[in-house]
Structure 1
Amino acid sequence: MTRRLCASVHLDEAFAREVDHRLTGDRLTALGLTLGINFVALARHARAALLRRGALDRQLAWLFAALVVSLLVAVWGLASGHGSVALIGVYGPLGILGASWWLVRRTESQAWDAALEVFRGTDKVEELAPPVEPAAESWLQEHSLKRANVLPYADAAALTNPFVGSGSKIKEAVWQPIDVSKPADAPNGGKLTIVPFDAVDLHTYVAKQMEGIAGLDGLRAKNRLYVLGSNAYMLPPLVPDRTARPLPKIPPQFVQAGLKNPGAGMRTHLCLERVGEGGRIIVSMYLRAILSGPSLTWEVACYAIPPVTTRFELVDRLPLANFERWRALTRHATSRVWPELRGAVGRIRDRGRRRRNAAKTLAKLRRDITEQHMLVDYGATDSLREWIGDWSQAGYAERIDSQDFLFRLQGGVLVATEKFLKDHNVDTSSFDKAQANISTQTYNISGDIHNSAVGNQGHVTNNGPQGQGPSGQSGAPQP
């Protein structure tokens, strides 16, 4: 998926600008999770594409100015009777149009070459484009799923879904309570002594065991603290500078504290994320162990992100044969030369105005924070991967894979929990009763998949009508 998106920024200027703004732009809000995307590589290629485009606009702006001058010279020559001067003024615009046509064609050819080199090449993607600013590179590297352990979520998501950017909600549930206060029977009679444990111990055990138990290679399991955006400032390691964006990584003790003592809009969840083949679909399960008195319950939330929109399939259709490529580039340059030439000055002016307005707005917000102690919502609203997803592109294979992932994750959590309780000498009779009910839960993905339930013996049964797709998902918005 990283290769496809890195290729797409070379072919889609609007997407490149959105990526550059999200990943390296000056902002105060948190960035959504990477979820199968190499942010460093994507930021580099987006910047390279924009620099190429900016260079073209500057060249065309000078040519347009020369065109205007040539036309004025031609008018003056005709009006004053200087035929030779008028002749120069007439042929000048033709040469300028020819040069503009060549620049437009060359730039598009360079974009195609860059896109194909990324998409079809074997070199590391991030090595095919120059780095961006060192501070931005370092920040993006820290934001990888392997390192990031905290995510502020927008206040608007507090009532619905704190797991911003994870896609469509498949299921939210609290599993049946399990009595963990009774010791297990000793082999020679009597009772064993329960080994004390807390929620952190259980989370750590499940995270380490899940990949092997669930049989999902590449499963990412990590404890992550979710923080309400307007409360992020209460956690100094998260927001050391209230006039800058929050950090993606904090000391582990704060993550553990969000599990032992949740509150103030801060809770720690065990995040299990599985990226499907080629990054086409992503399934996430968020768990939180709740130990209260003699019982243990699991808070469970499942989400899925569909394949990307058809907008990112252009790289698949680029002509490779010499003649077809020549014809397509020629057709593109011929149809775009005048709009590109005429609009170059306006595009440069609009980009400058947007940058100035954004900087002015952000400067005012920072003054309000420092001078008036204004509270800011630092939370992320979505993720880049969620933003470009489209459920209409999810085929049978993706929907079946999603259900398989979720069933494996659910089964893995149950097996890991049972093993953990046995290792701590807890009587699992209560767990066995709860498991019988938990195992019949269904996961409806999208399209015409029937609801399925995994029974106690692992059999799959149908439970009625066709499942409804995740709510609220459509094609990606156009930037």
Structure 2
Amino acid sequence: MTASGLPAPPVPRPATESTRYLCAAAYLDEKFADEVVERVLHEQHRAVAPSYGVDLHAVVRHCIAARRRKVVRSLVLTALLIVVLPAFLWWGVPLLGSILRVLVLAWAVVFTGRCLDRYEVLAGSLLRDRFRVRAAPRASSRTERLIGELERHQLANVTVYSGFSPFVGCGLDRGGWSFVVDVRKGKEGPVGDSQEPVPFEVDELYAALLETVRSLHIPRLHAEDRLFMNGRDVRGQEWILPDAFARPLPWVDPAVVHRYVQAPTHRVRHYLAVQLVDWQGELVLSLFLRFNKVGGSLFCEGNYFLLPPVKEKYHEVDDVNAVPDVRAVLVQMGLGALTAPFLLVAAPFLVLQRLSGRWMSWLEDRATRRLIRNRPMFDYGAQTTIRQAGMSPNYRHYFQKLDVLMFEKLIQKQVFESIVGFLDARGIDTSELRERQNSVLNNGVIITGGEINAQSLAVGSGARAMAGQMFRSAGSGAPGAPPSTPGSR
């Protein structure tokens, strides 16, 4: 733990493909880079949810570097407009001739910038055999401190969310299951008598499930306790928000987590998060389990979420030749000619926007602080994550779809068997639970009342499916969603 109460920064770990593609997105998608820097790095008042399967520091550093390149290009183009163009006119060059000369120079600037991005950065350091996660461009000392704080947020055991769904950053809702077990009903003995059930606490059941997950020995499968709280409910809760003008704490003492395991409230819920990162981070499958004893009944709940591969556009980095050929250079020349006039006109405005950036950030911060003072229900919650904002609605490989189904069935089979075995060992009747287990495991899709089922993801580059939009309330409730069916959550 550090002096700030956050866990120590994570140790270096093998780079994932999703990290590499999102680093490339900084240069392939200017809007993505802007959103990461402005709404993640410089955000001071709202929570940051973990970006699963991603080395966040590398993505942020590449976004900063891409924005820096964009500013340099805009400065040069602005100089062409306000210095070079008047110079041509002063030298007696006709207006039309001056404009054409400036356009040619602008094309040269844009073409050079595109080639540098494509062959110096994408081909030079972001191809699969050249990518090194710790080789990302370094930022200023102040920015590096902010990046270090973001890294520690990836180890959070509390998610403060905005909107409807608490599982922010986990991707597409694949449904789930829920059921109730009468823990007062003993199982039948060998001579038809009924056994006396042995009392237990829910933390004992969680401990059994943790042991089950560890016994699976599936690489990059882990489980952890996590608290979930809506961003509108954290005000006045000093254990999570000691400073009303700062971000909510991402990490709390395990004793606090255990307290909510034993006694969940309306606003704070505990889940056991079981998560599998597969296909080099391109697939992240999450299962959130919750158990609650109410009287003589045990309520059991499971929710499945999937982060599919990143957007197809970001995979364009794999199509970049390490050594440029004539055709590729001609393509870049043509694209430079198409975009140069628009970038030339927009350049002065982009420079002004960047020069006034700190001033605008200061004004925005003052406005947010005023909003916090005047609005007791200010929303401190995270809306989405870098990984979720960059996700595609499609699988890229047919085998990815099969692997998701395989791991779902493997994990849920072991979870159900662990629950049945735990209750059975305490003399509780599990006959109804075994029937429910068979119903869930034998169906092609998960029993669900959610919006996404096992067949909702499209497959292939030409397939179509719906996905949440970037950096919006990805977890907001859907009015008009179908009601849950009996036995579903």
Shorter-chain TM-score above 0.5: yes
Provide the residue aligned with 2:476 in structure 1.
none
Pairing of 1:160-171 with structure 2 (within 5 A): 161-171=165-175
Q: Determine helix, strand or coil for the equivalent of 2:135.
A: helix
Q: Give yes or no for the alignment of 1:243 onto 2:245.
A: yes
Partners of 1:301 and 1:191 in 2: how far apart? 32
* Gap change, CA 1:87 and 1:306, over 3 Å in 2: closer
Residue 51 (structure 2) pairs with residue 34 (structure 1): yes
Match of 1:221, SS? strand
Residue 217 of structure 1 is matched in structure 2 by: 219
Displacement of 1:373:
6.3
Which residue identity is paired with 1:439? N
Q: Tell which deviates more after alignment, 401-410 or 313-322.
A: 313-322
Deviates more, 1:391-400 or 1:228-237: 391-400
2:22–2:390 Cα contact (<8 Å) kept: no
Which segment drifts farther, 27-36 or 347-356? 347-356
Aligned to 1:129: 137
Residue 344 (structure 1) aligned with residue 347 (structure 2): yes
CA distance in 1, matches of 2:289, 2:422: 16
The 5 Å alignment of 1:387-466 reads 387-393=389-395, 395-421=397-423, 425-428=425-428, 430-441=429-440, 451=445
- Counterpart of 1:81? none
SS in 1 for 2:399: helix
Q: Quick one: distance in 2 between partners of 1:125 and 1:443? A: 42
Shift of 1:205: 3.2
Q: Does residue 1:323 correspond to 2:293, yes or no?
A: no
SS of the equivalent of 2:235 reads helix
1:114 alignment partner in structure 2? 121
Distance change in 2, residues 1:337/1:168 (3 Å): closer
The 8 Å contact of residues 309 and 475 in structure 1, kept in 2 or not, is answered as no
Identity %: 22
1:5 aligns with 22
| Per-residue deviation, 1:152 | 1.1
- 1:469 is aligned, of 433, 450, 456, to 456
2:234 alignment partner, SS class: helix
Counterpart CA distance in 1 for 2:441 and 2:417 is: 18
User: What SS is found at the alignment partner of 2:247?
Assistant: coil
Instruction: Give matches, 1:198-237, under 5 Å.
Output: 198-213=201-216, 216-237=218-239
Determine helix, strand or coil for the equivalent of 1:9: helix
Change (3 A) 1:131 1:175: farther
Deviations for 1:189-220, whole angstroms, at most 9, x for unmatched residues? x98995x642223223322431423x532112
1:19-168 residue pairs with structure 2 within 5 A? 19-74=36-91, 86=92, 99-112=105-118, 113-116=120-123, 117-122=125-130, 124-131=132-139, 133-144=143-154, 147-154=155-162, 156-157=163-164, 161-168=165-172
Q: Which has the higher contact order (CA 8 A, sep 6+)?
A: 2
Cα separation, 2, equivalents of 1:415 and 1:467: 22
CA distance in 2, matches of 1:225, 1:467: 27
CA distance 1:166–1:274, shift in 2 (3 Å): same
Q: How far apart are the structure 1 equivalents of 2:297 and 2:116?
A: 63
Would the aligned equivalents of 1:232 and 1:378 in 2 still touch at CA under 8 Å? yes
What's the offset of the Cα at 1:4?
Answer: 0.9
1:139: how far off? 1.8
CA 1:174–1:359 in 2, change beyond 3 Å: closer, same or farther? Answer: same
Deviation at 1:50, TM superposition (A): 0.6
Q: Following TM superposition, by how much is the alpha carbon of 1:97 offset from its aligned partner in structure 2, in angstroms?
A: 5.1
Offset of residue 404 of structure 1: 1.6
- Distance in 2, matches of 1:365 and 1:475, equals 29
Amino acid across the alignment from 1:168? L
2:299 counterpart (294, 297, 302): 297
8 Å contact kept, 1:290–1:298: yes
Alignment-mate amino acid for residue 113 of structure 2: T
Deviation at 1:298, TM superposition (A): 1.5
Could you tell me which runs of 5 or more consecutive residues in structure 1 were left unpaired when the two chains were aligned. 75-85, 445-449, 454-465
C-alpha deviation, 1:177, in angstroms: 0.6
Q: Is the 8 A contact 1:223 1:270 kept in 2?
A: yes
Q: Which amino acid aligns with 1:227?
A: M
Q: Deviations over 1:135-191 (max 9, x none)?
A: 3122211122xx21001122x30xxx22223223222332241527759989xxx98
CA 1:301–1:60: 2 relative to 1, 3 Å: same
CA distance 1:205–1:173, shift in 2 (3 Å): same
- Contact 2:28 2:314 (C-alpha < 8 Å) held by counterparts: no
Change (3 A) 1:114 1:247: farther
RMSD between aligned residues: 3.5
The one-character-per-residue Cα deviations of 1:209-237 (angstroms, maximum 9, x if unpaired) are 31423x53211211100002111124323
* Number of residue pairs matched by the alignment: 437
**Separation (CA, whole Å) in 2 of partners of 1:73 and 1:407:** 75
Which entry has the higher C-alpha Rg, 1 or 2?
Answer: 1
- Change in Cα spacing, 1:58 to 1:394, as seen in structure 2 (3 Å) is same
Quote how far apart the aligned CAs of 1:476 are. Answer: 5.7
Calculate the TM-score normalised by the size of structure 2.
0.78
**Distance in 2 (alpha carbons) for counterparts of 1:467 and 1:120:** 30
Give distance in 1, aligned partners of 2:402 and 2:442: 11
Tell me by how many angstroms 1:238 deviates: 2.0
SS in 1 for 2:232: helix
